[in-house]
Structure 1
Amino acid sequence: MKPVSVTLVGSSPWGHDLHADDINLRPALALAERLGAPYNVIVPAGAAAPGFVDLDPVRLYRVPDGSRPAFLREARHMIDHGLRARGDVLMSSDPLAAVAAELSRTRRTTPHIVQIQGDVLDPGHEYGGPLKRAALAVVSRTAVRRASAVRVVRQGLRERAQRLTRRPVVHVASRVDTRMFAPAPAPCLKPVHTVMVGSLLPLKNHVTVLRAWPHVLEAVPDARLVVLGEGPARSRLLGLIRALGVERHVELRGTVPQAEVVSVLQRARVFAHPSWSEGQPRAVLEAMACGLPVLCSDIPAHREIVRPEAGRLLAPAQARDWAEAVTTLLTDTERARQLGNGARRYVSEHHDFELMIDRFADFIQGVAAEDSRRRR
């Protein structure tokens, strides 16, 4: 197979201190290996200094990002003029990045794969006010219509995207390293009764589980909730925790290294994820890979991955229902064990890292080959 180089554009910064297991770097390295060519990445600098980082075979270009228009301008310039070598395929990870790719001169002669990883084609109230939602929908749908090919993370998104384009639309699900995210190798004490993982944003709906916790404590007096993640809703959530009088039982631990995320999941009994909207939440899949029963909000993203043998779906705002579900799993250890085994089995079969990377690499090679045939 002919080597294929990629230029990926994303509108979210990569971490400052990158290592081989980094959530962004590892898949880029794996794709570069399978495609047999350099893998360019253009992202906002964020807290890091703008500039080039050689992570051979990944080439990371951090561009200034004082505003969205500034990022679009800098990313487009980098695509056309700043790369050491242009990619055979352009790829964008989100709608804003897709705009930068489509505005570039390089796009005229290079196929573009647009990735849809959330409900951006039909955004709901959780994405903001009416004008913001309308603008996001227009940008996202236009990107799909103009793309050479589209990758989606859910079957439901695939069906929606196929109504907008006749170009290939492939479902490549979120991937999980099932070797890293795995049940504890030996039985251990589980002082963490329930865990939540995700940015502290209103969209993630931590509020419902916090409001459920006093009811959980009525049945399980020592029940402990650990929340991993950071964000602008921290002060509001801390205020709610104090108002509910559950300070001794709820911990907002903030952002932690990946190894600690794994450790907490391995010591937990239940995973809760009450989000209002998701693309395909890796946090849920990672918890399932660790053998945890999962309680998730009843939304399209969760319906595709949370089977009855792995967990339960609940109305996002019904705190009493969440309290009952958490209590049941904390008190019925055999039921929790069965669901956890089912969760692990599902992720291993449908979301394994190596399997998904192979599928994605095959798709990229196919897009490049089709473009080459078309230009002969």
Structure 2
Amino acid sequence: MKRLNVLISAYSCEPNRGSEPGVGWNMARAIAKHHNVWVLTRPDESKDAIEAELSQNPVPNLHIVYFTLPFWQDSMRWGQSGAMQIHYYLWQIQAYFVAQRLHRDIGFDVAHHVTFVKYSSPCFLSLLPIPLVWGPVGGGESAPRSFWKDFSLRAKAYELARLCVRTVGELDPFVRLTIRRSAVIRATTHDTARRLYAMGAMDVEIATESGLSSDEIDRLSQLGQPANAPVRFISMGRLLHWKGFYLGLRAFAEADLPNAEYWICGDGPEWDQLQQLAQDLKIESQVTFLGRLPREQVLEKLGQCHVLVHPSLHDSGGWVCLEAMAAGRPVLCLDLGGPAVQVTKDTGFKVSAMTPEQSIHDLADGMRQLAHDGDLRQRMGDAGKRLVQSFHSWESKGNELAHLYESLAMQVEKVSCVS
């Protein structure tokens, strides 16, 4: 099939980054291998990085269209949370008018909203007379209420504020318009899919937004297995209440593995509480808090460990799970959010999250099994490598999306022929 003209909305888009910026950039680059791509994004956060990357590694068929609000050119001004969300909403409105002018000149076949991956904000590209692929969008995940009893007052306030903002978004008529007018709706998790169905969506595909490049996958696959003793568990990420690292510490204490170690890599507001918890549980001699490290050192630490413990309560994505599986490490996680979509029974243990006590008990059981069974670790590690290679590389995602766009374009062509 001929190359299509694809319009991508990527509010956050930057090379050599993880999270949302990485999603925007890597999606666009992967799709440009198959079709002609125009990316709408902001100059204030990413223009210098994108231009530097393209000068070193040109991407044919990839065109970047920068714009931002004339009265609010720096999206980082006034903070990075609430103010940025307002900027993002207004930028989405502006994106429609920019896209409308481009469509008159270029003639797009399909549009795709990539970032932010936020289901409770509209995408005004749905008003264009072409099919829209919306997402994967996320944000519909919540920490189960039974876990709130362990949260601090500040953590509870955060969860309540998050629920309120999400509820307001669900009432936005433009969000519901986006749902009605999208040709394809994709959600990062089953939780977000359920919220979309409740708002009127008829069909929602589940697809993780996270991915790894072939180079990253190859590099991670080269991390050799460490010696069997001591067995080391590792958790990586910001030390936030909803990351659930306190569950990992409690499970490690319950597992009662005197010859094992638990490393925690990251920094954040829960640092002091987690250190105190390790002392209270009398496992401080087995637990090492590594702090925040450069990515190179983080991967080095991962290579020295046997199992990733990622008991997050509401991750939309879960990049660290993909990295661990690509490195051949089994994953212990909760059956919640993005990790529940990424991790399978062959690549790790997904434990249910009914109550903290039950989750801790099941995590501890998984730790004991993996600590005592090297063959199980090897089988799960090998399965993780195969899974990431087959389904979670940016190249495989680009191939999948290219076929999806072609299918949508063919449907439009058939309708045009009939009419």
Question: For the superposition of Structure 1 and Structure 2, which TM-score range results when normalised by the shorter chain?
Answer: 0.7 to 0.9
Give the structure 2 partner of residue 77 of structure 1. 94
Residues 242-264 of structure 1 show CA distances to partners (whole Å, capped at 9, x for unaligned) of 5556555222432632x444433
Distance in 2 (alpha carbons) for counterparts of 1:123 and 1:331? 31
In structure 2, the CA distance between the partners of 1:186 and 1:114, relative to structure 1 (3 Å rule), is closer
Q: Which amino acid aligns with 1:134?
A: T
Among 130, 138, 147, the residue aligned to 1:118: 138
Deviation at 1:357, TM superposition (A): 1.8
Contact 1:120 1:137 in 2 (8 A): no
* Structural RMSD (CA): 4.1
Residue in structure 2 matched with residue 269 of structure 1 by the alignment: 306
Aligned pairs (5 A) from 1:218-257: 218-221=256-259, 223-227=261-265, 229-241=266-278, 244=281, 246=283, 249-254=287-292, 256-257=294-295
Asked if 1 retains the 8 angstrom alpha-carbon contact of 2:235 and 2:264, the reply is yes
**Tell me, which stretches of 5 or more residues in structure 2 are unaligned?**
69-73, 78-82, 149-157
- Rounded Cα–Cα distance in structure 1 between residues aligned with 2:231 and 2:385: 19
Q: Deviations over 1:165-208 (max 9, x none)?
A: 45x75444453446533433655557781122334332221111
Match of 2:346 in 1: 309
Q: Which runs of 5+ in 1 are unaligned?
A: none
Task: Tell me the residue number matched to 2:211.
Answer: 175
Deviations 1:133-184 (A, max 9, x none): 4224445655323323212345786687578345x75444453446533433
Structure 1 vs Structure 2: percent identity of aligned residues?
A: 18
CA contact (8 A) 1:172 1:356 kept: no
Aligned to 1:333: 374
Conservation of the 8 A alpha-carbon contact between 2:141 and 2:191: no
Aligned to 1:184: 222
- Measured against aligned partners, the alpha-carbon deviations of 1:187-236 in whole angstroms (never above 9, x if no partner) come to 555778112233433222111112334445x4234513132x45544454
Distance 2:139 2:376 in 1: 33
1:346-357 equivalences in 2 (<5 Å): 346-357=387-398
Q: CA distance change for structure 1 residues 277 and 269 in 2, over 3 Å: closer, same or farther?
A: same
Correspondence list, 1:47-196, <5 A: 48=45, 53-54=50-51, 55=54, 56=59, 57-59=62-64, 61=66, 63=68, 64-65=74-75, 66=77, 67=83, 68-81=85-98, 85=102, 88=108, 89-94=111-116, 99=121, 101-102=123-124, 107-118=127-138, 120=140, 128-129=159-160, 130-139=163-172, 143-153=178-188, 164-166=200-202, 169-173=204-208, 174-177=210-213, 180-181=216-217, 182-184=220-222, 186=224, 188-189=226-227, 193-196=232-235
Structure having the higher helix fraction is 2
**1:247-298: per-residue Cα shift (whole Å, max 9, x none)?**
55222432632x4444333332011111223335332233122211221113
Cα distance in 2 for partners of 1:289, 1:9 equals 26
Structure 2 length-normalised TM: 0.69
Q: 2:152 is matched with which residue?
A: none
Which SS does the other structure have where 1:291 is aligned?
coil
Paired with 2:28 and 2:190, the residues of 1 have a C-alpha distance of: 23
CA distance in 1, matches of 2:380, 2:141: 33
Matched, 1:31 2:67: no
1:18 to 1:81, Cα distance in 2 relative to 1, 3 A: same
1:278 aligns with 2:315: yes
SS at match of 1:360: helix
1:49 and 1:62 in contact (8 A); partners too: no
- Which residue identity is paired with 1:283? V
Cross-structure match for 1:2: 3
Residue 360 of structure 1 corresponds to 401
TM-score scaled by structure 1?
0.76
**In 1: Cα distance, 2:235 partner to 2:345 partner:** 20
Q: 1:360/1:192 Cα in 2 relative to 1: closer, same or farther (>3 Å)? A: farther
The CA deviation at 1:361 is 1.9
What displacement does 1:334 show?
2.3
Q: Which amino acid aligns with 1:114?
A: W
Could you tell me which residue of structure 2 aligns to residue 296 of structure 1? 333
Deviation at 1:69, TM superposition (A): 2.3
Look up the equivalent residue of 2:66 and give its one-letter code. Y
